[in-house]
Structure 1
Amino acid sequence: MTKKTRLGTLARRLGAPGAALALAASGTAALATDAPASELAGFHRQQVGWADCRQGRDDELGTDLDRAGARCARITVPLDYTRPKGRTIKIAISRLPATDQAHRIGTMVLNHGGPGEPTLGMPLETRAHLGKVGARYDLIGMDPRFVGRSTPLDCGWPVGLWIRSAGSDRAGFDRQIALQKDLAERCERRHGDVLPHVNTRNTARDMDIVRSVLGERRISYLGYSYGAYLGAVHAQMFPGRTDRMVLDSAGDPRRWGPRPLIGTEPSSERALRAWASWTAARHHDYGLGRTQRAVLATVERIVRVSSTRPLRVGSYTVDEQLIPYLVYGGVGSDHDRARAGFASTVRVLDEAASGATVAPNPELEGALRFTLDAATSPLVSPAAAIMCGDGAAPGDPEVYWNDIQQSRTSHPLFGPITNNIAPCAFWPAPPREQPTRIANRAAALIVSATGDTATTYRGAKALHRQMTGSRLLTLRGAIAHGIYGEYGNDCVDRKVNAYLESGTLPTKGLTCLKP
């Protein structure tokens, strides 16, 4: 799921809200109770040791941050907020200071989404998105606990991203059971002692310590996708400590949990049809069919062939459990460049399905490496840990199999992905806390596109209803996930920046149109 393929498709897809949480499904979740404020006071009063961001590494990110004038630090937080005198971990942050100190507005904390995307470098691109108002903010990149340069968590997985289709038959699903169980067991062997403390509520608590050590009574916030959910949770847990909030590509918090793709099938199917129409109009470039129906038939043929034999693409073996996910992840943007990249991917897969010897195009190479390469484990296993820590998943594989079978009638391509089993089914410990119920009047500008295939426009409207002090900025007619500063809509960018400059929300919802 993503912007600039930071985490492949992960960040954009795992920001999608999924099935309702079912804590009873795997036992009673313990309710964590924060320690008294007096026991946390030392964390809130700690001194920040700012240093260069390269920190002695031959590191492109650190070099870019240093050149821009940013400084970096590591903040100490409790592993377990119920026992602050116990083990501690480190949270990595960067700060790009305001250049217009005379008109400084305050501090803005940033989050890319994911869950689990590193955010340390985000101030660089956000400063560009902000335009002239960017000079008036200190911009804070914060790698969430166990992500990026914060105290790490790597489950040592033999693959990358765990999301797959269940395939066409029970044998394929049984292989998925074995894979997902193995992934969960690897996490337990390596990090069983810390997994109970990897969740969104603890990240929100870490954010509040960062706020305090920066000397701010309130912080502004910009979060994309899952980052929008994190911002809403922080505002709920720490009322009165947020200033200006932009929650971009937000989903329905009531539906966030360990099955994060359920409910996105209709929007993805519409996006697939729209891409097929675009591609049909360019048959001379891609040769995938002259009509929408013909292009869709090409995709169906690739999936069908892969169910009889895996396709060979360069050094990769691409089977029926992976190809549907490549389609799912390929249709999430209506930008011509994204559509062209996915059309090239489908052409390669079509040639492979015909028995040709093929090499992956750059887009397919990146997607396959991210999904299949064990080197991706440090990036994706923290994301799984956060999701599994936020809500309990059903532990019986038959629940997933029944859901998959029921979904095939309405959603034959995407249903076996969205309902498939995942590591959370075998997670070693139930969540320690109930999910956060969002119900407040915190001021926020929620940004959403009507064609969002990941968190969906319906989910954004639900968050707007739960945050009664919010306003909804709608981008109509666009298939996009990650909009402000990224999609390239001047109307959206201007309205967001006007709010971040004035601090005043519009009196009613706003609408922008795709040109």
Structure 2
Amino acid sequence: MRRTHFSSPYPHFTALLAVLGLAGALAVPAAAAVRPDGAEPESEPAAQVEWGECPADVADEAAPYVLTCAKVPVPLDYADPDGEQIELQISRMTGDDPAERRGVLLLNPGGPGGSGLAQSSLLMSRGLPDSVLDAYDLIGMDTRGVGHSTRIDCGFTAGGDYFSNVPPYAVDDAAVVEHAKVVKAAAEQCAANDENGLLRHVSTANMARDLDSIRAALGEEKASYLGYSYGSALGAAYASMFPGTADRVVLDSNVGDTHLNQERLRTFALGMEQTFPDFARWAAKRHTAYGLGRTPAQVRATYLETAQELDRDPVLGVDGALFRQVVFGGLYSPLSYGRTAQTWQSLRDGDAGAARSLLDEVSPLSNALSVFIASTCNDSEWPEDVRTYRRAVAEDREKFPLFGAASANILPCAYWSEPVEPPVQISGEGPRNVLILQNRRDPVTPLVGGQRLHEKFGDRSRLVTVDGSGHGVYALGDNACALNIGTTYLVEGKMPRRDVACPAG
């Protein structure tokens, strides 16, 4: 059910940074188990979900929209479908005209580790067309390990050494070696806190199997899907593993595969280099207000100078690494440019109050950090030799001076156990049902991700490239061309005949 009037903004930029760091529902009977090889079950069950009130924090986040929630049991280990079960919390927003309904639209906000229970309300607040809500029940969820689902938590705390899943900028070779100690301790801490044995089962492949289990529990023959950022990787896995039950699939702001690995994490630096000029032009036009430079080149020089000054002399705990990370996060949307410039200006003025506020904003969400580590490390093999990361940091510091020595730095995956199964391979076999939406300038999932995903899907997909800046296209951006194409596909099932280049605006 929706309310037709909306009068308050939806705060989400701090949540995005955190995830980078980023009465209860009713229990229901078990759904027919998804086979571990991804094949569809021989028969479909009737709907097995009992909807009730959402947890109070979810209801508050979704307001003024009204959601209902439920829990769906799924196997801890799909190789043992009749063994131990875990629970997935899901949410539902429905349209006002049941006669227009054609199915369910599964949603994922990214991360991995982001809560998606209130994602439908975010999309509606940002202008998701009513025709989409009329066509679908919008199904949000906390994926396995997250939030109100059976959760994992490594026990990270505010003020601890491990506070972000995007590694800190390494000012020199010694900083890489020092950070290796931090991520090794983080990996060991996760293992020590894995009380329910869930950690090794948090993977993109299992989350894709969970999507099909949710579809079956809802009594649907097929399910459509809309995923952003890491959600593009999950959606790519879902469409590849379940081509017979994945209906209309929209992948937005694309990782480029079904998993993150060292190569893909390093593209964050490319994304910042490609996106920062948009912010620099914006700030140069407002040089009187913020004093960051009269030209884009001067703004870039000021960024590098400020970062280096904070490397030498941090302001109340805000050093150059944290400054670089916050500016990186500030490029997620032009809507956050003002806040980014204001923070930057305050740090240059040595404003301790602004620094303290900044530290409060990036306090870690332990659960989100934990799920990111588990999924990323379980999905693929990572180099175990610290020298590999030292070389990568040295290369990217020169190649991508804005952020290269951060995204090439070492993750806990270097100290993780071996993946349980190989990463999901993207399949070009199946219906032409994958619509890929991608900004040309995106700090975290640059254009190359959308292009690579399209190449892997082949004729199954169409690529819509938007002359825009930021992270998130459909309903989260302001491009009319992309909004129309995405809506036409979701509501009418009409894919573009060929790839599309949407102009700015």
Bin for the TM-score computed over the shorter chain: 0.7 to 0.9
**Could you tell me which residue of structure 1 aligns to residue 32 of structure 2?**
none
Shift of 1:106: 0.9
Query: Which of 188-197 and 138-147 deviates more?
Result: 188-197
Query: What residue identity is the alignment partner of 1:143?
Result: D
Shift of 1:297: 2.2
| SS of match in other structure, 1:511 | strand
Report the CA distance shift for 1:329/1:70 in structure 2 as closer, same or farther (over 3 A): closer
| SS of match in other structure, 1:400 | helix
CA distance in 2, matches of 1:84, 1:43: 16
Query: What residue identity is the alignment partner of 1:493?
Result: L
**Could you tell me which residue of structure 1 aligns to residue 4 of structure 2?**
none
Query: Which of 135-144 and 171-180 deviates more?
Result: 171-180
Query: What residue identity is the alignment partner of 1:194?
Result: L
Query: What residue identity is the alignment partner of 2:239?
Result: A
1:209-247 CA-partner distances (Å, limit 9, x unpaired): 110011111011111111111111011111210111111
**Could you tell me which residue of structure 2 aligns to residue 369 of structure 1?**
360
Query: What residue identity is the alignment partner of 1:320?
Result: G
Query: Which of 271-280 and 177-186 deviates more?
Result: 271-280
Aligned-pair identity in percent equals 34
Shift of 1:418: 1.3
1:263 to 264, 267, 290: 267
Report the CA distance shift for 1:42/1:156 in structure 2 as closer, same or farther (over 3 A): farther
**Could you tell me which residue of structure 1 aligns to residue 36 of structure 2?**
34
**Could you tell me which residue of structure 1 aligns to residue 31 of structure 2?**
none
**Could you tell me which residue of structure 2 aligns to residue 514 of structure 1?**
504
Shift of 1:485: 0.6
The answer to whether the Cα contact below 8 Å between 1:268 and 1:332 also exists between their aligned partners in 2 is no
Query: RMSD over aligned Cα, in angstroms?
Result: 2.7
**Could you tell me which residue of structure 2 aligns to residue 50 of structure 1?**
51
Residue 298 of structure 1 pairs with residue 302 of structure 2: yes
Residue 4 of structure 1 pairs with residue 12 of structure 2: yes
| SS of match in other structure, 2:353 | coil
| SS of match in other structure, 2:88 | strand
| SS of match in other structure, 2:69 | strand
Residue 348 of structure 1 pairs with residue 346 of structure 2: yes
CA distance in 2, matches of 1:36, 1:112: 23
Query: What residue identity is the alignment partner of 1:153?
Result: I
CA distance in 2, matches of 1:36, 1:395: 30
Shift of 1:45: 6.7
1:177 to 180, 200, 213: 180
| SS of match in other structure, 2:469 | coil
**Could you tell me which residue of structure 2 aligns to residue 237 of structure 1?**
241
Residue 495 of structure 1 pairs with residue 485 of structure 2: yes
CA distance in 1, matches of 2:445, 2:152: 26
**Could you tell me which residue of structure 2 aligns to residue 20 of structure 1?**
none
Report the CA distance shift for 1:3/1:205 in structure 2 as closer, same or farther (over 3 A): farther
| SS of match in other structure, 1:191 | coil
Which ranges of structure 1 fall in alignment gaps of 5 or more residues? 15-32
1:425-447 CA-partner distances (Å, limit 9, x unpaired): 112x2111111110224412111
1:197 to 201, 206, 211: 201
**Could you tell me which residue of structure 2 aligns to residue 100 of structure 1?**
97
| SS of match in other structure, 1:432 | coil
The answer to whether the Cα contact below 8 Å between 2:21 and 2:166 also exists between their aligned partners in 1 is no
Query: What residue identity is the alignment partner of 2:300?
Result: L
Query: Which of 502-511 and 196-205 deviates more?
Result: 502-511
Shift of 1:304: 1.6
1:439 to 427, 440, 443: 427
Query: What residue identity is the alignment partner of 1:347?
Result: Q
The answer to whether the Cα contact below 8 Å between 2:170 and 2:409 also exists between their aligned partners in 1 is no
**Could you tell me which residue of structure 2 aligns to residue 29 of structure 1?**
none
| SS of match in other structure, 1:9 | helix
Report the CA distance shift for 1:341/1:48 in structure 2 as closer, same or farther (over 3 A): same
CA distance in 2, matches of 1:298, 1:36: 51
Shift of 1:424: 1.1
The answer to whether the Cα contact below 8 Å between 2:131 and 2:491 also exists between their aligned partners in 1 is no
Report the CA distance shift for 1:72/1:255 in structure 2 as closer, same or farther (over 3 A): closer
CA distance in 1, matches of 2:446, 2:45: 37
**Could you tell me which residue of structure 2 aligns to residue 392 of structure 1?**
381
Shift of 1:482: 0.7
Query: What residue identity is the alignment partner of 2:17?
Result: T
Shift of 1:168: 2.0
Counting only pairs closer than 5 Å after superposition, residues 31-430 of structure 1 correspond to structure 2 as 34=36, 47-54=48-55, 59-63=56-60, 68-127=65-124, 128-158=127-157, 159=160, 160-191=163-194, 193-253=197-257, 256-257=260-261, 260-312=264-316, 317-333=317-333, 335=334, 337-352=335-350, 357-360=351-354, 365=357, 368-371=359-362, 373-374=363-364, 376-427=365-416, 429-430=417-418
**Could you tell me which residue of structure 2 aligns to residue 460 of structure 1?**
450
TM-score of the pair, normalised by structure 2: 0.87
Shift of 1:261: 2.4
Shift of 1:380: 1.8
CA distance in 1, matches of 2:211, 2:288: 52
Query: Which of 246-255 and 40-49 deviates more?
Result: 40-49
Which ranges of structure 2 fall in alignment gaps of 5 or more residues? 1-9, 23-34
1:385-404 CA-partner distances (Å, limit 9, x unpaired): 11111112111111111111
| SS of match in other structure, 2:312 | coil
CA distance in 2, matches of 1:66, 1:194: 32
CA distance in 1, matches of 2:82, 2:191: 24
| SS of match in other structure, 1:266 | helix
Per chain length, whose mean CA-contact separation is higher, i.e. which structure has more relative contact order (CA < 8 Å, sep 6+)?
1
TM-score of the pair, normalised by structure 1: 0.85
CA distance in 1, matches of 2:88, 2:138: 16
| SS of match in other structure, 1:62 | helix
CA distance in 2, matches of 1:13, 1:505: 36
Report the CA distance shift for 1:403/1:46 in structure 2 as closer, same or farther (over 3 A): same
| SS of match in other structure, 2:464 | strand
The answer to whether the Cα contact below 8 Å between 1:78 and 1:87 also exists between their aligned partners in 2 is yes
CA distance in 1, matches of 2:184, 2:169: 14
CA distance in 2, matches of 1:220, 1:350: 48
Shift of 1:194: 2.1
The answer to whether the Cα contact below 8 Å between 1:166 and 1:176 also exists between their aligned partners in 2 is no
CA distance in 2, matches of 1:41, 1:351: 66
The answer to whether the Cα contact below 8 Å between 1:249 and 1:455 also exists between their aligned partners in 2 is yes
1:330-389 CA-partner distances (Å, limit 9, x unpaired): 2343x2x3222211121122122xxxx43218xx835x3354x35x21222111211111
Query: Which of 415-424 and 116-125 deviates more?
Result: 116-125
CA distance in 2, matches of 1:289, 1:35: 56
CA distance in 2, matches of 1:282, 1:176: 37
**Could you tell me which residue of structure 2 aligns to residue 451 of structure 1?**
441
Aligned pairs, number: 474
Shift of 1:295: 2.1
| SS of match in other structure, 2:487 | helix
The answer to whether the Cα contact below 8 Å between 1:12 and 1:225 also exists between their aligned partners in 2 is no
Report the CA distance shift for 1:64/1:380 in structure 2 as closer, same or farther (over 3 A): closer
